Structure 1
Amino acid sequence: MSAPVTFTDEFSSPVPAPRMFKALILDGDNLIPKLLPQAIKSVELVHGDGGPGSIKQMNFAEGSHMKYVKHRVDALDKEKMTYSYSMVEGGEYADKIESISYEIKMEASPAGGCKGTNVSKYHPKPGVVINEEEIKAGKEKAMAVFKAVEAYLVANPEAYA
């Protein structure tokens, strides 16, 4: 098996870490389709209770170049505000990638908002070389979701307080 390609992205937000974690991670399956219906139609729990071992299917809106992706929840720690999951089916790289694993961590920043880290590991199929430009496009979409949740929380200070 080829060595995984790892990317680490850092982000910051004026929103306090507990609110961002609650909205983006704990209630993201409900909130994100409401905020971005043009991109994400729904998120369904296919297996489990939402905790580690659960499988979730994210269904994309009509006209998207992908129909869905399935994620497995690997770890969830509400106290430490960490979340790990792996893409196990679907996605635009299905022909090139065995799996993609993500580790998200949020923490309070001294200014009162939060700072976070997202580590993504792309495990290519044998003989496949990962194109970093393709990966950047996917990461930009993920950042758009983060920014939509952040804008919602800034505009609605009582939400997820």
Structure 2
Amino acid sequence: MNTYTWSLEIDSPVGASKLFKAAVVEWHNLALKLKPDGIVRAAAVQGGGGVGSVREFNLTYAMPYNYMKERLDFVDNDKLECKQTLIEGCGLGTRIESASTDIKFEPRSNGGCVCKVVSTYEAIPGVTTEEEITKAKEITAGIISAAEAYLLDNPGTCL
């Protein structure tokens, strides 16, 4: 089996705790409003946002896949980090055996933060994931950017 790992760091002027909450913890509630070009439905289908919670997203034609379901395996609201595992959709079973993503938001002294993302895929033998990796990085950056823009446009927002 082939393992592929990619990482991404995104600097933001938004505070770490607010961006973590908007882009990770509450993303299933904000996604449709903030990314209507990519998401047609988003919902928590199990749990209340903590460990073991499952969320599903129905995606538009602009996305490479039309559906994904993820489980939150680790959430630390104090350390502003989480781990998510893909459990359905996005090529699971046809292109990849498994996929997980670790996300951490680190505060900066200027009041902003840096979002660090590390994602690991186990590809089905004979399948390369370069296209998926490129698209996943774009989608991840888009989620962070949409949450950031929302929080900058709505500075009084208390998530």
Query: Taking structure 1 as the reference length, what is the TM-score of the superposition?
Result: 0.88
Match of 2:140 in 1: 142
Match of 2:150 in 1: 152
- 1:71 & 1:129 partners in 2: Cα distance? 22
**Runs of 4+ in structure 1 displaced over 3 angstroms?**
61-65
- 2:58 & 2:29 partners in 1: Cα distance? 12
Structure 2 CA distance for partners of 1:153 and 1:59, relative to 1, 3 Å: same
Structure 2 CA distance for partners of 1:103 and 1:64, relative to 1, 3 Å: closer
Query: Taking structure 2 as the reference length, what is the TM-score of the superposition?
Result: 0.89
Write the letter of the residue equivalent to 2:119. S
Write the letter of the residue equivalent to 2:130. E
- 1:151 & 1:128 partners in 2: Cα distance? 40
Question: Post-superposition shift, 1:70?
Answer: 0.8
- 1:156 & 1:47 partners in 2: Cα distance? 29
Question: Post-superposition shift, 1:65?
Answer: 4.9
Note the residue ranges of structure 2 that are not aligned, 5 or more in a row. none
Quote the sequence identity (%). 36
Match of 1:122 in 2: 121
Write the letter of the residue equivalent to 1:11. I
- 2:12 & 2:63 partners in 1: Cα distance? 28
Structure 2 CA distance for partners of 1:47 and 1:140, relative to 1, 3 Å: same
User: Is residue 2:35 matched to residue 1:51?
Assistant: no
Structure 2 CA distance for partners of 1:65 and 1:140, relative to 1, 3 Å: closer
Write the letter of the residue equivalent to 1:52. V
CA contact 1:22–1:160 (8 Å) conserved in 2: no
CA contact 1:103–1:118 (8 Å) conserved in 2: yes
The 3-state SS of whatever aligns with 1:4 is: strand
- 2:67 & 2:131 partners in 1: Cα distance? 22
CA contact 2:32–2:39 (8 Å) conserved in 1: yes
Question: Post-superposition shift, 1:140?
Answer: 0.7
Aligned 1:85-124 pairs, distance under 5 A = 85-92=84-91, 94-124=93-123
Write the letter of the residue equivalent to 1:111. N
Write the letter of the residue equivalent to 1:15. V
Q: Number of paired residues? A: 159
Structure 2 CA distance for partners of 1:4 and 1:58, relative to 1, 3 Å: same
Aligned 1:12-31 pairs, distance under 5 A = 12-31=11-30
Question: Post-superposition shift, 1:98?
Answer: 0.8
CA contact 1:23–1:160 (8 Å) conserved in 2: no
- 1:21 & 1:33 partners in 2: Cα distance? 17
CA contact 1:84–1:104 (8 Å) conserved in 2: yes
Note the residue ranges of structure 1 that are not aligned, 5 or more in a row. none
- 2:149 & 2:106 partners in 1: Cα distance? 19
